[in-house]
Structure 1
Amino acid sequence: MEIVYWTIVIALMVIAFIGLIYPIIPSVLFLLAAFILYGVFFSFAPFGWLFWTIQGLFVLLLFGADYITNLIGVKKYGGTKAGIWGSTIGLLVGPFIIPIFGILIGPFLGAVAGEWIVHKKDFKSTLKVGLGSVIGFISSVFTKGIIQLVMIVYFFLVI
């Protein structure tokens, strides 16, 4: 039965990494579920207040990294809140409309549309904002991937 338990825990961790590419999957919840299920299946004994505090800080860091990298990417290339919202909507919708490539095309088109519709910016400026949103997204995936990896490594060090 132990193999089944480990399979579930590790599958949840893998799903958390899939959530980096498909943002509709709440990565952090799958990681926390893996930690909690480990406690349920085996023991909560290794998880003291220090473990939960550190993991909680990493969760806050994950949310912050997601927001800040997108914000910096769009703002650096001249975007506004309209570009940020468009990018976010495109990020959620893109993968469903255009499988595989939608994860990059969605935020790009969303940011471009947001800036063009709301602020009537010229096409060249909106393209720069779209590029910024893609750079922000890729930076976010990389940053969150590292944070999640650190969370998992810490988990295995504790147990």
Structure 2
Amino acid sequence: MQIKDNFLSKEEFNQLNKTFHLASFPWYFIPFKVQPDDDYYQFYHLFVAKGKVHSKYYDILHPLLTKLEAKKILRIKANLTLKQATNTSSEMHIDFKDCKTSIFYLNSNNGYTQFERGDKIISKENRVVVFDSNLKHCAVDCTDTKYRIVINFNYL
């Protein structure tokens, strides 16, 4: 597992962050986080699924993809969760088997990514964590800011 702070240049990060905060940026409601019956919810934006681009905003990810050295993209999805009363966690899961997963944090808050083996990665703006996709992990909601935004990359 690798954790890298200040992953993008200040200029690259500000441009990316600005795009995600546009009133016109399309966020879609989904009534679950991991499985349809998990009793959670979030907003998402799907950039790539099954290797196919689904978003007109895909090009904003170019600096991230270059630095991640992604050769083949399986899925890229941004998640937006709203402030909760407690740091509630989703179910432990893996996104895909036998590839790389990276989580890029767009804002700082007290939410985090928890790994089954015990690692806890705090949400810090412009931080990325890169790990083997076979590691079970879960998202933990924030309580100190209005929302938490991350971008999940699954790739080879």
Q: TM-score range by the shorter chain?
A: under 0.3
TM-score, with structure 2 as normaliser: 0.24
TM-score by length of 1: 0.23
Higher relative contact order, chain-length normalized (CA < 8 Å, sep 6+)? 2
Richer in helix (by share): 1
**Higher Cα radius of gyration:** 1
Name whichever structure is richer in strand by fraction.
2
